[in-house]
Amino acid sequence: MTVSRRDLLKMGLMAGPGLSLPRLAEAQIPDPSSPPIVPFVRPMPIPPVLSTVPGPPGQDNYSITQTEGFANIIPGRPTPIWGYNGIYPGPTIRARAGDSARRVVITQTNLLSESVAVHLHGGHVSPSNDGHPTQDLIPTGTQRPFDYPNTQLPATLWYHDHAVDVTGPHMYLGLTGFYITGDNFEDMLNLPTGTHDVPVMITDRVFNRDGSFAYPLTEDALVRGIMGDRILVNGVIQPFFSVTRRKWRFRILNASNARVYDFRLSNGQPFIQLGSDGGLLTAPVTRTVLRLAPAERADVVIDFTNLPTGTQVYLRNSNRQIPIWLDRAPRDVLRFDVGNTASDNSVVPSSLRPVETLPAEVRTRDFLLTRGVQNGRTVWFINGLLFDPARIDANPTDGEVEVWRFINNSNVNHPMHIHLVQFQILDINGVPPGPGEAGWKDTVNVPAGQTARVKARFAGFTGTYVFHCHILEHEDHAMMAQFQVTP
Ligand code: C2O
Ligand code: CU
Ligand code: CU
């Protein structure tokens, strides 16, 4: 299967600067009503937790093979995917971090038809283990280990493809998985755990009639990113999830290529947010709306204790984007079916983990985000430049704190992601973040025309890392740059 190449060719044929949006929708988005989907009849799958394999002692050894496979998404129409161990989403890795860190070494074998790179998103890892888009490519038929020390605070991380120029199609085909870490401190908080700690990966897709994923990389998609009319939760369109009447913890990840979600519960009940991208907040935050841009995570508790057995609650996306008249994605993405009463010894304590106050910055760097045109097609600039692996765009000194300003001088949002670090959002257009965004973050959504300031300590490893927009069609075309941490 060479879906990505075929689609890349197709997009070249299809794209044209003169096409208006409604014509694009008619001509290029495969009939979204064709797959016969009955919503809320399939249970939400939970990606399997990966088991260790024999290997050197004192660390957890894993082996993942990247292969083609088929996903059962639309009845009777198997969807060809690229998957970690051939499944979508990939297997979940559960690791120990922080005060009880254990090294994880994953041997990745590439049996796909193109080179891949594997990145641990949010991970504090050495440059050679970061999955650099050009330096760390794994050619077809080869393998290499990735070494993750897990010395950072526990968090909801994820791993995904990062191959230069084709990260969008590769991830769209399925190369995404959870990497969730915990430590003794967090265990002692007695949050919901085990089967009551559930990863939830949200993605959107366009399907061809035969059930395959369509990747219509039109000119419009270069501008806004690929947005699907079907929303998948852990790889299934509109599943249900049976819960008992107690507190449940959900690690919600927006792994979509471009779509931003505003999640609410249909009964108006709030989420109790415990954490964001880089770990726990100082204290839980009660929120009725959770906005998640691509790559962002929210670690939340939903308390079903007081809902009568038989209650159905929808996880609802109230964010309509792309031209609103084209957005045919349903609002309700997941249904919780409330079952029987259950014992619940878990608690949501009034304070979680103090978030460090970073010292004053030694410098501020500015990154201007703009749109450009090259060969008649949209490209995306950081400080007027496209990604060039031979160029270093910033060189922080190991251990120093910097403020980075992302100045969005374009008419679409850009969720900006920095490798290596977890940062803190200082403000967006001068407005400090709400308490749910005040913790450790690795991705900040910079709305159209606005400026975000983030503060981070660049420390622990020296060498070259990338930072980029996490709308994958922007990243691939070529909204990415490099920083080099120097001793
Ligand atoms: Cu999740 Cu560089 O990416
Ligand atoms: Cu990353
Ligand atoms: Cu962008």
Helix (H, G, I), strand (E, B) or coil at 346: coil
User: How far separated are the first and last CA of the chain, in Å rounded?
Assistant: 45
Atom of ligand 1 nearest to the CA of 468: 2
CA of 93 to the centre of ligand 2 (A): 16
Model pLDDT, residue 20: 24
The CA-atom distances, in angstroms, between 58 and each of 46, 93, 109, 245 are: 29, 17, 22, 40
**Residue 43 corresponds to which tokens in the numbers above?**
């249970």
In this structure, what token pair is assigned to residue 153? 């605070």
- Residue 122 CA: which ligand 1 atom is closest? 1
Instruction: Tell me the C-alpha to C-alpha distance, in Å, between residue 180 and each of 58, 80, 102, 352.
Output: 19, 27, 13, 17
Cβ distance 119 to 131 under 8 Å?
yes
- The two structure tokens encoding residue 479: 């909204």
**Closest CA relative to residue 253, chosen from 232, 269, 224, 267:** 232
> Which residues lie below 8 Å from residue 403, measured CB to CB, with a gap of 6+?
361, 363, 364, 365, 426, 453, 454, 455
- Dihedral sign for Cα 43, 47, 49, 50, please: positive
Q: Sign (positive/negative) of CA torsion 7, 12, 14, 17?
A: positive
User: What pLDDT is attached to residue 5?
Assistant: 38
Q: Is the CB of 295 under 6 A from ligand 1?
A: yes
Q: Which ligand is nearest to the CA of 479?
A: 3
The residue ranges of DSSP E strands in 238-295, in sequence order, are 240-245, 247-254, 261-265, 271-276, 279-287, 290-292
Which pairs with CB-CB distance under 8 Å and at least 24 residues apart come from 431-436? Answer: 434/285, 434/287, 435/281, 435/283, 435/285, 436/273, 436/276, 436/281, 436/285, 436/287, 436/290, 436/298
With a CB cutoff of 8 Å and minimum separation 6, the contacts of 334 are 44, 200, 233, 238, 239, 240, 241, 314, 315
Instruction: Give the residue whose CA is nearest to atom 3 of ligand 1.
Output: 121
For ligand 3, the distance from its centroid to the CA atom of residue 263, given in whole angstroms, is 21
Residues across the chain: 487
Point out the ligand 1 atom lying closest to the alpha carbon of residue 475. 2
CA distance linking residue 259 with residue 262, whole number of Å: 10
pLDDT beneath 50: ranges in the chain: 1-30, 32-33
Residue 160 Cβ inside 6 Å of ligand 1? The answer reads yes
DSSP E strand boundaries for 140-196: 143-148, 156-161, 176-182
Atom from ligand 1 closest to the CA of residue 466: 2
Q: Which of 330, 265, 354 is nearest to 301 (CA)?
A: 265
Residue 122 Cα to ligand 3 middle (Å): 18
Tokens at residue 138, please? 């794994």
Residues with CB under 5 A from ligand 2 (ion): 121, 419
Does ligand 1 come within 6 angstroms of the Cβ of 121?
yes
Contacts of residues 382-385 at CB distance under 8 Å and 24 or more positions apart, as own/partner, are 382/479, 382/480, 382/481, 383/481, 385/481
Q: How far apart are CA 353 and CA 182, in angstroms?
A: 13
- What was the pLDDT predicted at 211? 87
Tell me the average pLDDT of the chain: 92
pTM check: above 0.85: yes
Q: Is 170 near ligand 1, meaning CB less than 6 Å away?
A: no
The predicted pLDDT at position 111 comes to: 97
- The residue assigned the tokens 């103090």 is 354
pLDDT of residue 209: 83
Atom 1 in ligand 1: which residue has the minimum CA distance?
121
Give the pLDDT of residue 376: 94
Inter-residue contact 101 to 151 (CB < 8 Å):
yes
What is the distance between the alpha carbons of residues 130 and 124, in angstroms, rounded to a whole number?
A: 9
| Residue 96 CB less than 6 A away from ligand 1 | no
Q: Which atom of ligand 1 is the closest one to the Cα of 131?
A: 2
Name the region of 376 (left: φ>0; alpha: ψ -120 to 50; beta: rest). Answer: left
Distances (CA, A) of 396 to 133, 369, 420: 20, 20, 12
Q: Report which ligand 1 atom has the smallest distance to the Cα of 133.
A: 2
121 Cα to the center of ligand 1, angstroms: 5
pLDDT attached to residue 329 = 87
* Ligand 1 within 6 A of CB of 419: yes
Name the strand (E) or helix (H) holding 72: strand 60-74
